Amino acid sequence: MWTYNKMLEYPINIKCTDPRLAKVIISQYGGPDGELAASLRYLSQRFGMPDQNSKAILNDIGTEELAHLEMVGTIVHQLTKNASIEEIEAAGLAPYYTDHGVGLEYIQIRI
């Protein structure tokens, strides 16, 4: 089966706060074409595959998309980690953070 190494596939180390960039990237997290949606599509499509090889490939791809979800979430977190409320408001993220706090949710932000 799978093993989970408690480290990102590719290290993310963003030093500067940029809530405006986070607002753009957050759609890649849980938007309709984001990493979660892609993962669920691949993992669901595997059930209709005619053979075990096809199922295994789609399972691998869907699981890889979950690793991407973890990286995108880390990017958004690091871009907003030290943001002031003024920076969050200026980026247009105030309604999002009012509803969800600093945690990420699987929704698309309209830009």
The dihedral region occupied by 68, where left means phi > 0, alpha psi between -120 and 50, and beta the remainder, is alpha
Residue-level pLDDT at 20: 93
Q: Tell me what pLDDT residue 110 has.
A: 47
Q: Which CATH number fits domain 19-100: 3.40.50.300, 3.50.50.60, 3.90.550.10, 1.20.1260.10?
A: 1.20.1260.10
Whole-Å CA distances, 81 to 33, 69, 73: 25, 18, 12
Rounded distance between C-alpha atoms, residue 72 and residue 38, angstroms:
13
Q: Which residues contact 83 (CB under 8 A, 6 or more apart)?
A: 17, 19, 91
Q: What is the pLDDT of residue 99?
A: 66
Comparing 2 with 64, the larger pLDDT belongs to: 64
Q: What is the pLDDT of residues 57-98, one digit of tens each?
A: 999 999 989 888 889 989 988 998 888 888 988 988 877 776
Q: What is the model's pTM?
A: 0.77
Higher pLDDT, 110 or 95: 95
Q: Would you state the pLDDT for residue 62?
A: 93
- Helices 52-80 and 35-45 cross at an angle (nearest 10°) of 170
Residue 31 has pLDDT above 70, yes or no: yes
* Three-class SS state of 2: coil
